Structure 1
Amino acid sequence: MPLKEAAYRPYMLTLLAVILASNGVDRLALSLLLQEIKVDLALSDTQLGLMSGIAFAIFYSLMGIPIARWADKGNRVTIITVTTALWSVAVGLCALAGNFVQLLLIRVGVAVGEAGCIPPAHSLIADHFSRTERPRALSRYMLGGPLSAVFGYLLAGWLNELYGWRLTFLIVGIPGLLLAIVAWFTLREPRRQGMLNAREQASKEWPDAQESSPSLREVFVTLWTIPTFRHLMFSFAAVSFFSYGIGKWKPAFFIRSFGMETGELGAWFTLIYGVGGLLGIYLGGALASRFAARNERLQLKMMALTYAAFAVVSTAMYLVSNVYVAFALMAIATIGGNSVAGPVFATIQTLVPPRMRAMSIALLYLFANLVGLGLGPLGVGMLSDAIAPWAGTESLRYVLLVLSPGYLWGAWHLWRASTTVVRDMEVTYEREMTSSDSAQVEASSNAPRRIPGETVSSSI
């Protein structure tokens, strides 16, 4: 018997979070296994950066656009199921790679599959949770990120020591296939049921929440003309460049600079990214929903300050010579950095029209991944190779030290977004009212005008 809405919503969040964790396990495991792959296939840091960075990011980012278009008007459960199965099979195939080209092509297949995870999930969650609930709901969904650290670092670290990197990839790919089956049989697509969601929230939150799909040009123009969205996109891209570039090479840094083994390192990364990440994301969503509900301006200002502190602590990590002090600083930075995720994505889902929710996330990841995931690991790898002749095994330390203050760039854009978010919500809402047909305008004439800090409907 299908679950009632009260029980279904937490179940849906949990399952989507676990699928997100499966999505992230592969990339975290890859970062931990880069050194082993380098030795086995005789690759350079530049090749590793290319394979884990730009080659993956191009397909991951570009495929996100057509998938998100499909998600904004099609069956999101089908999208999540098919793409989960696809990336799981491709991850397992990494075990068969015999050279750089083969591994590169397989990673492209992984990228295509993983592109279908986040945009449909965000859209689905936004349909089931109101504006007030979204920071907490999306934070709980984003818990899948640090949850992936538990499996990606701990299991990959020990599996690599016991069985090698090839069998590790094969084992990592299996859970995704099982999750795809569970999603297919248990998740619901509200559109297929002839309803937007249990509370009919979108029809109250926006006057033209309907099945008509805007053109791709209309989506691009609409989103680009929202200053807050632009600042959030630039912030996400800047932070992604430094976080992907630095994060992908952190395991190699600890291996080279402190002589750690993958098993021990995986346990530490599990504790820091797993527990610290879970704590940070949960606190970010809970605090935003409790103390700044329906106050996106305050949420963005606090996130900007958090990222500024994150930049300082992250930089300090590469100045210390004691590995345990470095881990402590890394834990503090992880908690703070992860607290931003839920409120940022909740703001976006409230800011844009429902018809463009999946596309807004896809565009966000398009620029962030092309710049961050694409250029970050590659840039670090190239810089490391460039200074290796005089820096030796400490080349990564110097590169990561120089890049860490870059998080301040993302903080600046978040602060700028806080100055425009209220006005942009007003403008976007009024634009939607104007563009709706006369019958719809009349039907929504009793809906109050959105003003700073208030909802459109008391049920939202």
Structure 2
Amino acid sequence: MSWKSNPRAVLIALLVIHILAHIDRNMVLGFSPQITRDLALSNAQYGFLTGAVWVLSFGVMALFMGTLADRFSRTRVMAAGILVWSACTAASGMAHSFEQMALARFFVASGEAALVPAAVSLLAELFSAERRGGAMGVFFMGIPLGIGLSFLLAGSFESQGWRSTFTALGVAGVMVALPLVLLRDHRGTKDEAPRGAPFRQQVRNVFAVLRSSRTIQAAIAGFVLAHMAFVGLAFMQLWLVRERGFDPGQIARQIGGLQILFGVLGSLVGGVLGDRFARRMAGGHAGFMATLVVLCAPLMIASRFVPAGSPLLYVGLCASFFLPLALYGPALAVIQGHTPAQMRSTVTGVTMLLINVVAIAIGNLAAGAVSDRLAAGGSTSPLTTVLLATDVFSVIAGVFFILAARGPKVMGAQTPIAAH
């Protein structure tokens, strides 16, 4: 019996791997006060580590790995990526300068670029269009769980230090990668996903599809802009410690707990309810995403203006954890549903490239540089100003979701091999 005959088990396994990926990726955030102190990093250098370094690696490699996953075994592409990012996570713990940490994080990003394009394509193959958003939502629970656990681990193992924590995570990743090598994922055979074209032709084919579909264009644009919320997350602990007076260890644990609770809730609500509302709501999944923005963005913006003891501060934090994760299921359901099966990994790679260029790299680097400049100019709340600006992009994302909602319904020709 093929391992693909149990889509739910595949989904859970991919979720576990995704959690590990985001623990490794976001442990720099959880230990941000200690790492910036020990390596004497400026805000701009910290923003580069959490942002621009990912574009130089993750964004470009996501496109390349997407084309490989559309042609060859998705499981083996993922296994190779896990081995690379795990080894370089361990190497991150040995860094003694900004340059050494940047190099290690560069290759962590290269390895992680293999996971999402291959996994999203595999889930789109295994789950029907009616359940695809829910499956994507469950898989992308790995983001809040991984981010939350990175903060919880950082808060709990503060005394052990960030170096030993990074080393232990690297060893754990190698152990996870080995079983994936044994799973065979045939491409282009009967009842399996068709095989994509070689790299250059595949990229040309994908961009032809993107040019022809305004629905995909608008959905990707809104999805990318919504990721500016992750810029806010990258600087959240620094903001709460420096400008709201919270204790680093205590607020790390609180951020971790809230990220897990409301990020997971967002993934489930966006995925499961998105599938249900898509059948009833005008605009389908895209209309549902626009509604989420209208509900959450005002709370995020309002939280930047209140003092540390205000309940509205925590309400806004919860909304900022909830919204971006709630968009993953419906956004990818729209994008994958309008994409031919042999191009799904590559289109996901293009989406990840844009997210990392526009939101993660430019967003984080700009946030760090602007906050440094504001602080040098005498501002007492430079991070508050910058994070407020990132919240405004969520509102702009809602406009693009409205445009996507006016497009055609999901392609009916994309029939999965299983409809579980």
Give the TM-score normalised by the residue count of structure 2: 0.92
- Give the aligned partner of residue 148 of structure 1: 146
Given that 2:51 and 2:363 are in contact with CA atoms closer than 8 Å, whether structure 1 keeps it comes out as yes
Amino acid across the alignment from 1:301: G
Given that 1:308 and 1:407 are in contact with CA atoms closer than 8 Å, whether structure 2 keeps it comes out as no
State the distance in 2 between where 1:174 and 1:124 align. Answer: 26
Q: CA RMSD in A?
A: 2.6
- Give the aligned partner of residue 180 of structure 1: 177
Amino acid across the alignment from 1:79: V
User: Could you tell me how far 1:49 is from its partner in structure 2?
Assistant: 1.1
Q: Secondary structure at the match of 1:43?
A: coil
Q: Secondary structure at the match of 1:421?
A: coil
User: Could you tell me how far 1:116 is from its partner in structure 2?
Assistant: 0.5
User: Could you tell me how far 1:212 is from its partner in structure 2?
Assistant: 5.9
Given that 2:281 and 2:287 are in contact with CA atoms closer than 8 Å, whether structure 1 keeps it comes out as no
Q: 2:334 aligns with which of 328, 343, 347?
A: 347
The answer on 1:398 being equivalent to 2:385 is yes
Amino acid across the alignment from 2:191: L
- Give the aligned partner of residue 248 of structure 1: 234
State the distance in 2 between where 1:176 and 1:456 align. Answer: 30
User: Could you tell which deviates more after superposition, 140-149 or 408-417?
Assistant: 140-149
State the distance in 2 between where 1:275 and 1:35 align. Answer: 23
- Give the aligned partner of residue 16 of structure 1: 14
Provide Cα deviations, 1:244-303, integer angstroms capped at 9, x if missing partner: 321110011111123333331222112211011111111222112234249782221121
Matches within 5 A, 1:34-433: 34-159=32-157, 161-185=158-182, 187-191=183-187, 194-197=189-192, 215-240=202-227, 242-293=228-279, 297-323=283-309, 325=311, 326-391=313-378, 394-422=381-409, 425=411
User: Could you tell me how far 1:211 is from its partner in structure 2?
Assistant: 6.3
Sequence identity percentage? 27
State the distance in 1 between where 2:70 and 2:160 align. Answer: 42
Would the alpha carbon gap of residues 41 and 333 (structure 1) be closer, same or farther in structure 2, given more than 3 Å must change?
closer
Larger Rg: 1
Given that 1:245 and 1:375 are in contact with CA atoms closer than 8 Å, whether structure 2 keeps it comes out as no
Given that 2:267 and 2:326 are in contact with CA atoms closer than 8 Å, whether structure 1 keeps it comes out as yes
Q: Secondary structure at the match of 2:96?
A: coil
User: Could you tell me how far 1:188 is from its partner in structure 2?
Assistant: 4.6
Alignment: residue pair count: 417
User: Could you tell me how far 1:168 is from its partner in structure 2?
Assistant: 2.3
Amino acid across the alignment from 2:295: A
Would the alpha carbon gap of residues 83 and 211 (structure 1) be closer, same or farther in structure 2, given more than 3 Å must change?
closer
State the distance in 2 between where 1:399 and 1:127 align. Answer: 40
Amino acid across the alignment from 2:400: H
Given that 2:297 and 2:391 are in contact with CA atoms closer than 8 Å, whether structure 1 keeps it comes out as yes
Would the alpha carbon gap of residues 34 and 333 (structure 1) be closer, same or farther in structure 2, given more than 3 Å must change?
closer
State the distance in 1 between where 2:280 and 2:197 align. Answer: 28
Would the alpha carbon gap of residues 247 and 211 (structure 1) be closer, same or farther in structure 2, given more than 3 Å must change?
closer
**Structure 1 residues not aligned, in runs of 5+:** 203-208, 430-449
Would the alpha carbon gap of residues 420 and 266 (structure 1) be closer, same or farther in structure 2, given more than 3 Å must change?
same
Amino acid across the alignment from 1:421: P
User: Could you tell me how far 1:231 is from its partner in structure 2?
Assistant: 0.9
State the distance in 1 between where 2:39 and 2:394 align. Answer: 33
Would the alpha carbon gap of residues 146 and 196 (structure 1) be closer, same or farther in structure 2, given more than 3 Å must change?
farther
State the distance in 2 between where 1:82 and 1:122 align. Answer: 17
Q: Secondary structure at the match of 2:31?
A: helix
User: Could you tell me how far 1:229 is from its partner in structure 2?
Assistant: 1.1
- Give the aligned partner of residue 23 of structure 2: 25
Q: Secondary structure at the match of 1:191?
A: coil
State the distance in 2 between where 1:106 and 1:457 align. Answer: 39
Q: Secondary structure at the match of 2:129?
A: coil
Given that 1:32 and 1:252 are in contact with CA atoms closer than 8 Å, whether structure 2 keeps it comes out as no
User: Could you tell me how far 1:238 is from its partner in structure 2?
Assistant: 1.6
Given that 1:49 and 1:377 are in contact with CA atoms closer than 8 Å, whether structure 2 keeps it comes out as yes
Q: Secondary structure at the match of 2:159?
A: helix
Provide Cα deviations, 1:174-232, integer angstroms capped at 9, x if missing partner: 322222123334x452538x4435xxxx7xxxxxx566665321221222221111112
Amino acid across the alignment from 2:179: V
Provide Cα deviations, 1:344-368, integer angstroms capped at 9, x if missing partner: 1112111100011001100111111
Amino acid across the alignment from 2:167: L
Amino acid across the alignment from 2:77: I
Amino acid across the alignment from 2:225: A
Q: Secondary structure at the match of 1:277?
A: helix
Give the TM-score normalised by the residue count of structure 1: 0.84
Would the alpha carbon gap of residues 43 and 296 (structure 1) be closer, same or farther in structure 2, given more than 3 Å must change?
same
